[in-house]
A and B are shown apart, each in its own frame.
Chain A
């Protein structure tokens, strides 16, 4: 059962409960978000950013108990954590409002050089809903790797948020792996800000979910920042995956790279919408963006829209999108080496996906994804 949307504020507030363990300002913030969610509900296809992704039937079809809370208190949040939470754009859509109102908060503050990756695993059981909200602060000069993994069993609902601050001269490598069940609903948002000479290198893998939507927003707030915002969606059956990304060059001399790849089989469907903004003062920007899609079936479909909005002349920007099938010459080459056609096609598809997976520097995660991709292709290497 989906959450009942109450148009009446007073009635809605009956469903909200403050947490005695949290500071008043947080209760207030969550309450505000709760009201926002109660008024707006989930997004509909009438909204431009959601026109290809209709969440209503999928959410209505879930047999999930939402409960009243799903909320985990953030005990004694620091001023930095408070600032971060107050900056969260919960008005982005109904999901972000719902997430903040119920957020199960986890905060990690990273200092110095961390060799071992931080792992945040969010698992949701059949018939349940979760609202993880991660706050990640990489302090000045620190270096770290973060692995976020989302898994679920059968029919489930995930509404996740991660807020990341990469401070001056800090470096974060971020792997986000969504491999929920094919019956799950998944919404996630990443809000990332980069300080001076900060580096953020992210790889976003989307394999699961009946319907998944991932919103990414990366903002440069000082000069010299560099970001990689790469991803892979690999879908089959009637899966639907939607990625909306915004890379915001608000300051001069920052660099962004974005490669998103899609592999679509059966009747699956993907949406990629990538906006790159180069503001008027952001001279010296270098922004590259590409979205490449491989359609393995005539019934699969992708709607891709890379968008560059540039308000400064002294920039180097490029973008592009492709939607296609396997290259015939590549296929012929593999056939002439004696590989049967199905294996040859699978190997080329694997290679297409591997370009993203090979970026992953944590062997355990990379091997798992290798296997997941091969499993999808019903191939053994």
Chain B
């Protein structure tokens, strides 16, 4: 598609992600059943839904998890077919997913890992890579976003981190990699209120007119801290209701049964 059509001249925003009638699943089971979503730069979207509605599947499919299969539909990222890119190519093109359960990588230090990831992206963009000393300065600056102690740089990636530390580390990675589109998969789960505030403040700092954020969450709580432009309610693999930030509050009051019945 010609990028001309991606430019919304009224809102002055680029169409970053377009999901069209997406059907996808795992182990032969269809979970997403015709999902549509449009995300422009400068926007924050919240995708809410009960357990089993397909929230995680959507995140995994967008990130390119090999266990998930796309049955039909289309996903355009900056106007190009996202689904034909490998997970690492998607990442270098500016897609980022913060994991619900970040994986531990024993024996590899956080700073080594982040520098490798950062430099791969720089290489891809044709920009200059950073040596360990330069990167350390860059990393220290970025760590302020999530108030992270530089002691964590030397430790193995996520190994022995508390739930809150792991989530902060995910946002640190986001800060370092500066994605165009960040999908935060249940980033609020398992966080106490202080950790939630730090993580949310980090995300708000990273929010800009040039990027977009998709928050995938079960609870409205996170949306008190990161105010979305649009809220989409997912039930049984489809978006059943859409609205502004008030929708999240209404949903919290009335529960998911309200939209599930509305969707039918």
Could you list which residues of chain A lie within 8 angstroms of chain B, going by C-beta atoms? 327-330, 332-341, 343-344, 347-348, 350-355, 358, 381
Contact = CB atoms under 8 A, between A and B. Distances in A.
25 contacts: A328-B67, A332-B66, A332-B103, A333-B99, A333-B102, A333-B103, A335-B64, A336-B64, A336-B90, A336-B91, A336-B96, A336-B99, A337-B113, A339-B116, A339-B117, A339-B120, A340-B88, A343-B120, A351-B105, A353-B107, A354-B106, A354-B108, A355-B106, A381-B112, A381-B116
Nearest to B120: A338
Nearest to B176: A337
Nearest to A347: B108
A355 B177 CA distance: 27
B258 to A, nearest CB: 34
Contacts, number: 80
Contacts of B64: 335-336
A223 B201 CA distance: 56
Contacts of A343: 116, 120
A344 B108 CA distance: 11
B88 A339 contact: yes
B108 A350 contact: yes
A352 B156 CA distance: 11
Interface string B85-121: 0111011100011010011111110001100110011
B99 to A, nearest CB: 7
A347 B117 CA distance: 11
B173 interface: yes
A358 B103 CA distance: 20
Contact of B88 (A329, A335, A351, A358): A335
B85 to A, nearest CB: 11
Contacts of A329: 103
A350 B107 contact: yes
B124 interface: yes
Contacts of B90: 336
B140 interface: no
A344 B88 contact: yes
Contacts of B97: 336
B63 interface: yes
Interface string B60-89: 000111110000000000000000001110
A31 B81 CA distance: 78
Nearest to B94: A338
B13 to A, nearest CB: 25
Given A352-B106, A381-B116, 14 more contacts: A329-B103, A330-B104, A333-B103, A334-B113, A335-B64, A336-B87, A338-B92, A338-B117, A338-B124, A339-B120, A343-B120, A344-B88, A347-B108, A351-B106
Contacts of A328: 66-67
A332 B107 contact: no
B252 to A, nearest CB: 30
Contacts of B104: 330
Interface residues of B, number: 31
A333 B102 CA distance: 8
A340 B112 CA distance: 15
Given A350-B107, A350-B108, A351-B107, A338 B91 contact: yes
A355 B159 CA distance: 12
A335 B105 contact: no
**Which of A328, A335, A381 neighbours the largest number of chain B CB atoms within 10 Å of its CB?**
A335
A20 to B, nearest CB: 53
Contacts of B113: 334, 337, 347
Contacts of B156: 351
In the A-B complex, the 9 residue pairs with the closest CB atoms:
A351-B107, A354-B107, A338-B91, A333-B103, A335-B87, A351-B108, A337-B117, A335-B88, A338-B92
Contacts of A337: 91, 113, 117, 173, 177
A333 B113 CA distance: 11
A333 B120 contact: no
A362 B116 CA distance: 26
A277 B195 CA distance: 48
Contacts of A341: 86, 88
Contact of B86 (A334, A335, A353, A354): A335
A85 B112 CA distance: 47
A330 B92 CA distance: 18
Contacts of B86: 335, 341
B107 A352 contact: yes
Contacts of A339: 88, 116-117, 120
Contacts of B117: 337-339
B95 to A, nearest CB: 8
A338 B86 CA distance: 10
A342 to B, nearest CB: 10
Interface string B110-150: 00110011001100100000000000000000000000000
Nearest to A380: B116
A350 B120 CA distance: 18
**Which of B88, B91, B102, B117 neighbours the largest number of chain A CB atoms within 10 Å of its CB?**
B88
A117 B20 CA distance: 65
B183 to A, nearest CB: 10
A164 B65 CA distance: 52
Given A335-B87, A336-B91, A330 B103 contact: yes
Interface string B231-251: 000000000000000000000
Nearest to A330: B103
A264 B116 CA distance: 24
Contacts of B106: 351-352, 354-355
Nearest to B173: A337
A373 to B, nearest CB: 10
